[in-house]
Amino acid sequence: MVLKEISPIENKPLTMEELPDPVPGPKQILIRVSACGICHTELDEIEGRLPPKLPIVLGHQIVGRVERSGPGATRFASGDRVGIAWIHSACGKCHFCNEGRENLCSEFRGTGCHAQGGYAQYTVVSEDFAYLIPQRFSDAEATPLLCAGAIGYRDLILSGMRKGQTLGLFGFGASAHIVVQIAKYWGCEVFVFTRGEEHRILAKKLGASWTGRPEDEPPRKLHCAIDFTPVGETVPQALRVLEKGGRLVLAVIRKRNPIPPLDYANLLWDEKEIKSVANITRKDALEFLHLAAEIPIISEVQEFKLEEANRALLLLKQGRIQGAGMLRMQEELKNM
């Protein structure tokens, strides 16, 4: 499914195309994709808030099997089940890369944004940017671990949350439904703020001790909060219920509408902090995949066929996906 031009998702801009099979270059592996998750970042790409390099095959939560290795690639055997996340490559030489902050590298390339992604039967990646998938997860269950989960894990680390503290989650989609499980596992109390009644039910099921709407008053103030929503209004709403000295983490790459003016005295004073999150590192993905198998994370996945990508992304935009959305590659397409 190829994106050729920027357009609202309502116009169904992804089209089914026949492309030549990619060839793995030096140190790269060719992967036969079995499933690929969908993500809000893809809506940002499609609608131009985060313009990709066109034409592009989107998708950065890829699970598949190694078909063959390019020259000099030795890490994986053919048939190994691997995943690819948002980080497709970084320069490996700059001070960010040397400090383990490759997510901030100025040559950071995103999968399905600056390099071809996983809304396809085949894709290639450097073997250094692929991860073995823990056995306990099916292909479908593993897809949201690679972005929603790995980025959610990074959000949680950056929130500075400590055992016994209270965490607020604003929005309850693919990432939050995994983060609530990690936070519970780490002994924290989780409050979930979301408009959707169905999302509140799922949040309770996965361990939230209180749920409400973003404008509601939680039973206690939040030591930290993560805002997963694509709208600006949740920023003052989260700051309003944040404890003194608390930190609010903004998880999305782009907000769809502006953050309203913030009343300094009421919302920001008392040493409150706001921190954004940019991309992920390989370490985030590796650590999180290990943790996910240990907990183990239950991923709630709604499946679509590859050719239904436009519809799946429209449902995501409308907040109508429960848990995480995922595209399944069709068996019969494999030999087309």
Query: Using CB under 5 A as the criterion, which residues of the chain lie in contact with Zn ion when the complex forms?
Result: 39, 41, 90-91, 94, 97, 105, 147
Alpha carbons within 13 angstroms on the beta-carbon side of residue 93 total 2
Question: Nearest approach, Cβ of 231 to Zn ion (angstroms)?
Answer: 18
Q: Measured from the CB atom, is 147 or 225 closer to Zn ion?
A: 147
Q: How far is CA 202 from CA 207, 298, 315, 332, in A?
A: 9, 12, 17, 34
Question: Nearest approach, Cβ of 44 to Zn ion (angstroms)?
Answer: 10
Torsion of CA 14, 15, 20, 21, to 10 degrees: 50
Q: In whole angstroms, give the CA distance from residue 108 to residue 119.
A: 21
Q: Which residues have CB under 8 Å from 198's CB, separation 6+?
A: 322
Q: In whole angstroms, give the CA distance from residue 199 to residue 217.
A: 18
Question: Nearest approach, Cβ of 146 to Zn ion (angstroms)?
Answer: 8
Q: Which residues have CB under 8 Å from 111's CB, separation 6+?
A: 59, 60, 62, 84, 85, 86, 87, 88, 117, 118, 125
Question: Nearest approach, Cβ of 107 to Zn ion (angstroms)?
Answer: 6
Q: In whole angstroms, give the CA distance from residue 278 to residue 103.
A: 7
Q: In whole angstroms, give the CA distance from residue 34 to residue 204.
A: 31
Q: Measured from the CB atom, is 237 or 322 closer to Zn ion?
A: 322
Residue 209's CB is within 10 A of a number of other CB atoms, namely: 16
Q: Measured from the CB atom, is 29 or 113 closer to Zn ion?
A: 113
Q: Measured from the CB atom, is 103 or 322 closer to Zn ion?
A: 103
Question: Nearest approach, Cβ of 196 to Zn ion (angstroms)?
Answer: 20
Helix axes 197-205, 174-185, angle to 10 degrees: 30
Alpha carbons within 13 angstroms on the beta-carbon side of residue 252 total 29
Question: Nearest approach, Cβ of 210 to Zn ion (angstroms)?
Answer: 27
Question: Nearest approach, Cβ of 108 to Zn ion (angstroms)?
Answer: 7
Q: In whole angstroms, give the CA distance from residue 244 to residue 9.
A: 40
Q: Measured from the CB atom, is 24 or 325 closer to Zn ion?
A: 325
Question: Nearest approach, Cβ of 178 to Zn ion (angstroms)?
Answer: 12
Q: Measured from the CB atom, is 140 or 267 closer to Zn ion?
A: 140
Q: Measured from the CB atom, is 87 or 188 closer to Zn ion?
A: 87
Q: Measured from the CB atom, is 280 or 291 closer to Zn ion?
A: 280
Pairing relationship of beta strands 242-250 and 222-227 according to DSSP bridges: parallel
